[in-house]
Amino acid sequence: MSATLIDGKAVSQKIKSGIAERVERLAARGIVPGLAVVLVGDDPASHTYVTSKKRTCEALGMRSDLLQFPASMSEEDLLELIGNLNRDPEIHGILVQLPLPDHIDEFKVIVAIDPEKDVDGFHPVSVGNMSIGREAFLPCTPHGILKLLEEYEIDPAGKHAVVIGRSNIVGKPAGVLLLQKDATVTYCHSKTRDLKNFTRQADILISAIGRAKFLGKDHLKDGAVVIDVGMNRDENGKLCGDVDFDDVLGTASYITPVPGGVGPMTIAMLMENTLLSAERGSTETK
């Protein structure tokens, strides 16, 4: 038996079609959802990500302002820019691409963003609301993972979900959202002893560690659902995940490919958050 592929590209296309229709409805009322993407410095991976975010925005009829600055930008100037974007009624979402240069305090930047425009879901108000199950902008990658599970009718309730990685962007919130779907959640990380002991118990295994082909069939229980968030290069420079895809195909029941799994979902969820923000703003009396 070979694992079923979880086609993130196809699912994200479906979501994006729905978004494009809602954007048209807003346009009829003179509202164009606007996303400001801020990039400081010249990290090549970040550059690729933000370009792709901008392109997708425009393809869906939304406005996207890509604001690029040199790595020497001061923290003060960045905070001032965010203040201006917070006050700009045509901007519904603000995303500051991480990581930031070392001299800029990431936390100060994240808390400077108006939570109503926090389409990344990184502000402590968003994280807090998410953690207690209140309405919040959900962080895009974990939200995308949950959408993929839903689409393939994989119900986390009662299942053992093992999350490898504890970043604020992916691992931690992925565990929180799975817990809210009634999974039993275990977090593993770089200090975990005997990783296999945990991963072999996983009904759903989420990997967000960033090590090429690190996990093989020896890490899996028969029939596990494998969600690979890794975005790495293999020894030949080819894009690959944290999971040795060919090795686990005969053991996993479902698996996300890299590329074409989780990646496209992250962008779709960002678009959805931006649209939601614009829809919310349009129903308020200001």
Judged by the rule CB under 6 A, the positions of this chain that interact with ligand GUN are: 95-98, 120, 140-141, 169
Catalytic site residues? 53, 97, 120
Q: To which residue do tokens 């979501």 refer?
A: 15
195 vs 118: CA distance, rounded Å: 34
- Residue with smaller CB distance to ligand GUN, 139 or 156: 139
Please name the residues in contact with 5: beta carbons below 8 A apart, sequence gap of 6 or more: 254, 255, 256, 257
Exposure of 72 by Cβ count < 10 A (0-12 exposed, 13-18 middle, 19+ buried)?
A: exposed
Q: Which is nearer to ligand GUN, 47 or 200 (CB)?
A: 47
CB of 127 to ligand GUN, least distance (A): 13
Position of minimal CB gap to ligand GUN = 98
User: Based on CB atoms, which residue is closest to ligand GUN, 110 or 226?
Assistant: 110
**Could you tell me the smallest distance in angstroms from the CB atom of residue 254 to ligand GUN?**
23
Nearer to ligand GUN, 160 or 172 (CB): 172
Element (H, E) at 196: helix 195-199
- Output the smallest distance, CB 95 to ligand GUN, in A: 5
User: How many residues make up the chain in this entry?
Assistant: 286
**Smallest distance from ligand GUN to CB 197, Å:** 29
Q: Which residues contact 50 (CB under 8 A, 6 or more apart)?
A: 37, 39, 66, 97
